[in-house]
Amino acid sequence: MMDIRTKLVMLFLVTFLSVSAHVSAQSAPSPLPTSTPTRTNITAALEKAGQFTFFIRLLKSTLVGDQLNSQINSKSNQGFTIFAPTDNSFSNLPPGTLNSLSDQQKIQLIQFHVLPTVISLSQFQTVSNPVTTQAGDSSEDHFPLNVSTSGNQVNLTTGVNTARIDNTILSGSKVVIYQVDQVLLPAAMFQSSAPAPAPAKPEKAFSAAAADTPTSSNGATVDTSAGIPLRLHPVTIGSYIAVAVAAFLALLY
């Protein structure tokens, strides 16, 4: 049997090990909570800024807003530059302008306000015209968008109207949103066509009666009732009259 001294030593060791394990468990650092990355939302940024109700409505109804948000938050996308017209700029459009557009044209109208890359205000001074938009073809008669600068002012010309960048709504590594004072109107949808030429005036007017009655080259009327035209020359008519008179005189004498 173990003596009392041995029992005391073993009890001390067990107690020491238990306390050490408890202290170690309490001193171990707890893992840090994982943070959810912030997702960019274009419509939320515009709603926060205010005065973009019409533009937000088009972004949602055409689903272009959802597509842009998805691409912006994708790691592979290079980002976008968005020109956001104010409510006043939409109010200045002729009545019925938006209602006259098809669903596809509304999508193209919104895409015309989006560049497929991030461009800062200073970079507008060196861009090549026409700049490419999400609407596609930037040729002169489709969706041209040209940039001009004067000091710090940046103007956007579509061939139909000219807009000015007034403010920066959102600036990030994947998206920048600029406030513009006009709705950008692409030439493919809003450029007025040249007026049609006026019809040429006839050199000589004819009455309906005269047009219905055929005539010969010498002015005599042509009888088409039998299907074969009978052309009577004035000299022939005179001969018939002379023969008839002579026969009548012969009967008298």
In this predicted model, what pLDDT tens digit does every residue of 125-139 receive, in sequence order? 999 999 999 997 666
Question: Average pLDDT of 84-106?
Answer: 95
Task: State the pLDDT confidence band at 116, using cuts at 50, 70 and 90.
Answer: very high
User: What is the C-alpha separation between 196 and 201, in angstroms, rounded?
Assistant: 15
Domain range 42-136+165-183, CATH class: mainly beta
**Residue 180 contacts by C-beta under 8 Å, 6 or more apart in sequence?**
83, 84, 85, 86, 89, 156, 163, 164, 165, 166
Question: Above 70 in pLDDT, residue 12?
Answer: no
Mean pLDDT is lowest, of 49-63, 132-146, 202-216, for: 202-216
- Tokens for 228, please give them: 């074969």
Cα–Cα distance, 45 to 181 (Å, whole number): 18
